[in-house]
Amino acid sequence: MRKLVWVIPAIGMILAATPVQAQTYDPNYPVCLQVYGRAGNYISCRYTAMGQCQMAASGRAAQCITNPFFGRVYRRPPRVY
């Protein structure tokens, strides 16, 4: 009976857990390649220019997009007294 008390919350925590996803966009590169395929879609951010990405996307089911997280640094606003 004591074990049953611990089993029920453990099952509840396992069922409530959500999968964690890795960060999709690399903030070090301004251009990303989004590839579409039968096995799945993925985004690869490793291009420094749009032309470089377009050469990699040529002939593939892919498109180049700008990285929305490139160069963003969170800074606190200055305090006003």
Q: Write down the pLDDT at residue 19.
A: 64
Q: Give the per-residue SS3 of the chain.
A: CHHHHHHHHHHHHHHHCCCCCCCCCCCCCCEEEEECCCCCCEEEEEECCHHHHHHHHCCCCEEEEECCCCCCCCCCCCCCC
Q: Write down the pLDDT at residue 72.
A: 61
**pTM of structure:** 0.59
For 12-42, the pLDDT digits (tens) are 777 776 665 666 788 889 999 999 999 889 9
Which is higher by pLDDT, 42 or 78? 42
